[in-house]
A and B are shown apart, each in its own frame.
Chain A
Amino acid sequence: MKQHITPITYCVIDISLFLFFAFGNWGHMNYHEQLQMFSNTWSYIAGLLKYAGGVNDIFARWLTQWYFNHWIGSIIASFVCTLFAFCIAKTKKHNPIIAVSSALLLLGLQFIHKDQMMAGATAMLFVGIFILIENRLTAQKLQQPSDSIRRIILSIILSIIAGPYAALIFVICTIRKWYEIIPPFLVMIVYKIFVYYQAPLIAHFMGTEYFRYVTQFVWEPFGIGGFIILINYSDRIKWSKFIQWGLSLIVICYTIYNIYDKRDEELILKFDKLARFHKWEQIIELSEKHSKKYKMIVMYTNLALVHTERIGNELFKHNQFGVEGLIPNYDKGVDINLVSSEIFYHLGMINSAERCAFECQEAIPDDQKSVRAIKRLAQCNIIKEDYDVARRYLAMLKETYTYRRWALQAEEYINANQTNGVMEWATIRARMPKNDNFYTVQQYDKVLMMLVKEAESFKYAYDYLLSYVLLKKDVDQFMEIFRPQRYTKGIPRYYNEAYLYYVGSKNPEALNNISQMDRQLLSRMQEFIKILKANNNDPRIDNYKDLYLWYIANR
């Protein structure tokens, strides 16, 4: 039985991590996948090789692209963590606690934050592998070449593969002579002088991309490096067992805390993934399940409500905080531009969708391309019939593994001049504005109004516009736009409420003449107004949170 403990340990670690990634971290995996574009072109590869450590970046990005399918992504991510755990724990006779804490360390520091990069994990994996190789060679007592030369060669190779910083950890873990510490710095200087002079020295030192904001100092790589070094040296210190246990305990606690801390971020990213793949019903379900509301969640929920034609009935059942929850204010950030691009795309505001996709693309802090943004740019240009530009984006997507098939199909439609054969493109093309207008980034209601004026039957824009004015609490403008005769099967709940509120506030007598009157709704509205007028701090007010009037009074 004893001999089975080690494989069982690693199997348990791997399966547990797999389950965590597959069910608890797919939002993050989607986020990572969509903000890069692994391209099988020389210019892409060459761009990464300008730093020592570029090989590792290439490897990590190659792996990350498979997050496209989160099951495959989960296998990859869990395998990287488990293999790292194996490399670190092997030097400690596969101590299960060290194995578990090593895997969790990598998970906690490199996988559950949206800006921590896979390359950070693989760089540390390379360190672990090189330490194993060195230990194996040392154990074989090979004299040719000498130990020192061998370590120097290994550290140079590791510097080139995973960056001088990773090599430095390896050197510290294996050093026997003082001068063995020089090669990683030498590699860094050679790259700085001969390969990419413009880059700051620190970029050459780290080499590998540990964090998406490349100019920002982050402690995580040093945390992992410190852990590896401490584990390696722990045997040489008194109370080694306690140190190992203590360290492992800290790591485990930190990782659990970190997972807990990042659960809201994961939730937002889940909404993002569901919107990306047009899972509108699931978005609403998820929104109903989670009471926590973030701007991104509200925006995606509202988008889903419009798509499912439920916004008139359910807008204020979900937490709202103004028009920003419908159409975001202009921002230079990656995430907000992704959402905006989705919203504008479905509204048929193709130039705006294209602009947001482009802005998102350019805002990615580590200068990567985004497959999602590039695909959106291709779609926008196909819909606009700017086929030459679309081909350019499609050519980029064709150089990837995961989007190649889509790009080829899109190109076939273009070549056959049958882009209207794709339902999505044809629908959105029909929604596009008919006349050109200038606008600034603060004038979206102007554009929505124009869309509705141009095509009254365009329900999507109509719902957006009505929701926009309701969120603005502009009931007068609502009444200017609202056409009760459009609704033969009953006026949607919140339009009805706004309508009743308007009529009631102008002329209560006229309420009796309304044909599509929801008596129950009216009586709740009247109750609410009565309570509010009597005491606006009355706790019963919160029983009316589903009313539009509550939104007007409290937001």
Chain B
Amino acid sequence: MSFILASCNPDLKNAVNSNDLPPVFPLVDSVVIPSNIAPINIMPSLKIAEACSCVHICYTGNDGNSVVSYGKRATDIDIDDWHKLTNNNNEIVATVSMCINGQWTKYKQQHIFVSQDKIEPYVVYRKIAPGYETYGPLGIYQRSLETGEEHVLIDRTQTNGCMNCHSFASHKKDHMSLHLRAGSHPGTLIKEGNKCHFINVPTEKLGGSYVYPSWHKDGRHIAFSTNNTQQIFHELDKKRIEVIDHWSNLEIVDTQTEEYVTNDILTNDSTFTTFPHFSPDGKWLYFCCAKAYDVRFYTKSLKYAIMRVRYDVETNTIGNEAEVIIDAPAMGKTATFPRISPDGKYMVFCLADYGQFTIWHPESDLYIMNLETREIKECKALNSNNVESYHSWSYDGKWLIFSSRRMDGQFTQPHIAHFDSETGEFGKPFVMPLARIRDYYEEYYSYNVPEFVLDEISEREIQL
């Protein structure tokens, strides 16, 4: 048992019992966590933070052992004690007590389920303020899911430009791509082993640079979209921004020869094609597709379908027939970000009312399709009444990480959920644990494009 001493002094004997869930962030009731996850610390919710002088949490395993922590602003659980608890128990009860306006209250217990399916040790994401056209501090960061500690891989101090669209082949650090925009080093950076190089992008021919990537499993080919985007704004709606494409196309790029291939399905004037994603076996390229439109007459009727086309990596050829997988426009919806589970059985995607930039759409939810039966169902366990958007599978398909704005509707946090491939059901998700949980509120960042990674990457490995 560990006690983290802080300025507050728990007086649990005189605590009043409450049947309500505690006013803390995050709530952990019924979540499913991996045994190797970092400690889940809590902090008072912003609504009562000023009145709360102490928050106390006691995690008790079904073996009877406990871990306790308390503090004025947040808890700080000892990592070793926590891992002993998660490794030895399949269920943990979290009891939160709080001192609000001088009165201690003991809240309803929350039950955490521990899965013995271990999670990948790292997540890579971009941190950026959820703004408009101008960007301030931003960077690509890696966080250990086992300790909650974060380190920077590359940030704006190096390039003075924007960066995003980091992507990995087979979750390994040996094949990474990163898009750098403006600044001192604009271009598409490819990291192969310990060497980094920029690939030559035929921008004049394509009309733009490579944007959204997806690695083929061979670690050599990448499918890219090329988009000509623009922001437009809502005058009243809580959505604030729409990001629209004037046009978009897809290409498959050989990172060694730097040549690209495309065909009439992926590049044509009558459709917009974007958000490519290779199936885990590398035989299919999934993508989103909408009828081309004149941006001046943009309306909320713009809707994307999910399609796929065959790809043969041996001959580097793309099939001539596209198959519609999700005909979202026929459902009156738009579908984006197809992501296939590593066993190839399922596809998770976003479904929203219109458009393609679902991170600004509160109605955007995650859905799953069984690719064998083509049955679609909502991932009810994952969805909230706010945005759920970009998502990514773990290498074994046991976990899914996704972006959600459920905290306040504006700032994005990664959430992680367990997946049972037998039933096709997700467990209740938990927010990615941070070593300092208060960073979610103090740092003023959205965590974009979370991707599971198997290896630790050193900042020195990314050389411009």
Which positions in A face B, CB cutoff 8 Å? 39, 41-44, 197-200, 203, 215, 332, 349, 351-352, 354-355, 358-359, 361-364, 367, 369, 384, 386, 388-389, 391-392, 394-396, 398-399, 408, 411, 415, 432-441, 447, 450
Contact B240 A386 (CB under 8 A): no
CB within 8 Å for A395 and B236 given contacts A42-B436, A198-B155, A332-B133: no
Contact B232 A440 (CB under 8 A): yes
Contact A198 B235 (CB under 8 A): no
CB within 8 Å for A362 and B232 given contacts A43-B443, A408-B50: no
Contact A388 B441 (CB under 8 A): no
Residues of B within 8 A of A358 (CB): 129, 131-132
With beta carbons under 8 angstroms apart, the residue of A398, A432, A439 that contacts B50 is: A398
Residues of A within 8 A of B409 (CB): 386, 388-389
Question: CA A384 – CA B409 in complex, angstroms?
Answer: 13
CB within 8 Å for A363 and B441 given contacts A43-B436, A351-B240: no
- CB nearest neighbor in A for B49: A395
Question: CA A435 – CA B234 in complex, angstroms?
Answer: 10
Contact A362 B135 (CB under 8 A): yes
Contact B240 A355 (CB under 8 A): yes
B309 within 8 A of A: no
With contacts A388-B46, A437-B234, A438-B233 known, what are 8 further pairs, Cβ within 8 A? A198-B139, A349-B235, A351-B240, A359-B131, A386-B410, A388-B407, A433-B235, A437-B235
User: Mind listing 20 A-B residue pairs with CB under 8 Å?
Assistant: A43-B439, A198-B152, A198-B154, A198-B158, A215-B160, A332-B134, A354-B240, A358-B131, A359-B131, A361-B129, A363-B136, A384-B238, A394-B46, A433-B235, A433-B236, A436-B236, A437-B234, A437-B236, A439-B232, A441-B233
Residues of A within 8 A of B132 (CB): 355, 358-359, 362
Q: B159 to nearest A CB, angstroms?
A: 10
Interface size on B, residues (CB 8 A): 45
Q: A393 to nearest B CB, angstroms?
A: 9
Q: B48 to nearest A CB, angstroms?
A: 9
Q: B122 to nearest A CB, angstroms?
A: 18
Question: CA A438 – CA B355 in complex, angstroms?
Answer: 13
Q: For chain B residues 407-464, which have a beta carbon within 8 Å of chain A?
A: 407-411, 436, 438-439, 441-444, 459-460
Which positions in B face A, CB cutoff 8 Å? 46-47, 49-50, 129, 131-137, 139, 152, 154-158, 160, 230, 232-238, 240, 242, 298, 407-411, 436, 438-439, 441-444, 459-460
Residues of B within 8 A of A349 (CB): 235
Residues of A within 8 A of B242 (CB): 438
Residues of B within 8 A of A215 (CB): 160
Q: B394 to nearest A CB, angstroms?
A: 28
Contact B442 A351 (CB under 8 A): no
- CB nearest neighbor in A for B159: A198
- CB nearest neighbor in B for A365: B136
- CB nearest neighbor in A for B237: A436
With beta carbons under 8 angstroms apart, the residue of A198, A399, A438 that contacts B459 is: A198
Question: CA A369 – CA B49 in complex, angstroms?
Answer: 22
CB within 8 Å for A450 and B408 given contacts A203-B157, A367-B136, A396-B444: no
Residues of A within 8 A of B50 (CB): 398, 408, 411
- CB nearest neighbor in A for B244: A438
Residues of A within 8 A of B154 (CB): 198
Question: CA A436 – CA B235 in complex, angstroms?
Answer: 5
Q: B360 to nearest A CB, angstroms?
A: 12
CB within 8 Å for A395 and B46 given contacts A355-B240, A389-B410: yes
With beta carbons under 8 angstroms apart, the residue of B233, B444, B459 that contacts A369 is: B444
Q: A268 to nearest B CB, angstroms?
A: 21
Q: A350 to nearest B CB, angstroms?
A: 8
Q: B166 to nearest A CB, angstroms?
A: 15
Q: B208 to nearest A CB, angstroms?
A: 20
Question: CA A535 – CA B290 in complex, angstroms?
Answer: 61
Contact A391 B235 (CB under 8 A): no
Contact B134 A43 (CB under 8 A): no
Question: CA A363 – CA B442 in complex, angstroms?
Answer: 19
Residues of A within 8 A of B49 (CB): 395
Question: CA A215 – CA B158 in complex, angstroms?
Answer: 10
Q: A328 to nearest B CB, angstroms?
A: 15
Q: A339 to nearest B CB, angstroms?
A: 15
Contact A388 B408 (CB under 8 A): yes
Residues of B within 8 A of A197 (CB): 459-460
Contact B134 A363 (CB under 8 A): yes
Q: A51 to nearest B CB, angstroms?
A: 10
Residues of A within 8 A of B137 (CB): 367
Residues of B within 8 A of A355 (CB): 132, 233, 240
Q: B55 to nearest A CB, angstroms?
A: 15
CB within 8 Å for A44 and B134 given contacts A198-B154, A384-B238: no
Contact B232 A391 (CB under 8 A): no
With beta carbons under 8 angstroms apart, the residue of A200, A351, A367, A391 that contacts B234 is: A351
Residues of B within 8 A of A199 (CB): 157-158
Q: 5 closest pairs, A vs B, by CB?
A: A388-B408, A436-B236, A362-B136, A362-B134, A367-B137
Q: B177 to nearest A CB, angstroms?
A: 19
Residues of B within 8 A of A352 (CB): 233, 235
Residues of A within 8 A of B135 (CB): 362
Question: CA A352 – CA B438 in complex, angstroms?
Answer: 29
With beta carbons under 8 angstroms apart, the residue of A203, A359, A432 that contacts B134 is: A359
Contact A450 B235 (CB under 8 A): yes
Question: CA A42 – CA B438 in complex, angstroms?
Answer: 10
Question: CA A352 – CA B237 in complex, angstroms?
Answer: 11
Question: CA A364 – CA B129 in complex, angstroms?
Answer: 13
Question: CA A396 – CA B445 in complex, angstroms?
Answer: 13
- CB nearest neighbor in B for A432: B236
Q: B411 to nearest A CB, angstroms?
A: 7
With beta carbons under 8 angstroms apart, the residue of B236, B407, B408, B444 that contacts A351 is: B236
Question: CA A351 – CA B232 in complex, angstroms?
Answer: 12
Question: CA A395 – CA B444 in complex, angstroms?
Answer: 11
Q: B216 to nearest A CB, angstroms?
A: 30
CB within 8 Å for A351 and B233 given contacts A359-B131, A395-B46: yes
Residues of B within 8 A of A411 (CB): 50
- CB nearest neighbor in A for B160: A215
- CB nearest neighbor in B for A199: B157
Residues of A within 8 A of B439 (CB): 43
Question: CA A388 – CA B240 in complex, angstroms?
Answer: 16
Question: CA A354 – CA B411 in complex, angstroms?
Answer: 15
Residues of B within 8 A of A408 (CB): 50
